[in-house]
Amino acid sequence: MVQALKPSTDLANRIARAYPTLSNGHRRIADFVLQHPLEAATVSIDGLADKSEASNATVTRFVRVLGFASFSEFRAALAAALQLAMRPVDEFADARAATASTVSTFVAALKTQRANLDEAISALDTATVEDAIAAILAARRIFIVASGASHPIASFIEDGLALYCEADVVFATARGGPERAYRHLNSAAAGDLVIAISVPRYSRTTVQLAAYSREKGARVLCLTDLPTSPLVPVADLSLFAPARNPLLPNSPGAIFALADALITAVARERPDAVEALKDLSRSLLWTFQH
């Protein structure tokens, strides 16, 4: 099974969800908090009001819009968010001091990946896997959204599924930024599937694009690390693989293995596509080294 669920700070996601409906005054506060979180976490309500050119009453209403009972509760959540953001840096320093040699670091990283894969396998739910494969095979179109460390996984899924699926497969965030991705997803509807991929530190854009797609009627399959991931609440189906690494903020290796397993399982269900792939391979023999 996956590790015990841990309390996770969702302050940035609360702000992102509320932002479209915020007043101008509330948006100024939100912008200051997002751009200067350390300073926002250390000032009083008077200080935050002054920094964001708002009144104390506006700050109070802002934190309540986000679901906090008081300014002190909001500031505690902001402090927790900063601690979460800095944890990979602290863990990096601790792990770097603990490793005895370059080789031991190399071996430890491989062992961590093995542990991540073992945990991913033990956490698999048969029904969810079957539903995920069925959703891919039944989709009219498949959109993939990912960024940062998850970008290579999305590219791999795009190439793999395009070989074995009848659906059009589009890596919506491949280039052009979120605006281009929204253009791709603007036509998302029932019958379409969105595969959203993100590991800590989670991409707000990926979460927002997944939520936008679901609102338009598409199903959402997420590949992420834990049930506490912000992708899970906006997904219809979720597959998990830990992203731990002793010296890095995250490691997408086990998520990459999930992607490979998805493509493999889809290929098994499409023998006709396999035959087409053989024809393609024969036509490209001249490009191979061996």
The string of DSSP codes covering 103-162 is: HHHHHHHHHHHHHHHHHHHHH--HHHHHHHHHHHHH-SEEEEE--GGGHHHHHHHHHHHH
Q: List pLDDT tens digits, range 70-86.
A: 998 898 888 877 765 55
Query: Could you tell me the pTM of the whole model?
Result: 0.66
For residue 36, the one-letter residue type is H
Q: Is the peptide bond before 96 cis (omega within 30 degrees of 0)?
A: no
Q: Tell me which long-range contacts 151-157 makes (C-beta under 8 A, separation of at least 24).
A: 152/252, 152/256, 153/197, 153/223, 153/252, 153/255, 153/256, 153/259, 154/195, 154/197, 156/256, 156/259, 156/260, 156/263, 157/195, 157/197, 157/259, 157/262, 157/263
Domains defined for the chain, CATH in brackets: 11-86 (1.10.10.10), 117-283 (3.40.50.10490)
Q: List pLDDT tens digits, range 113-148.
A: 998 999 899 888 899 999 999 999 999 999 999 998
Sorting pLDDT into bands at 50, 70 and 90, what band is 261? very high
Strand, coil or helix: 222 = strand
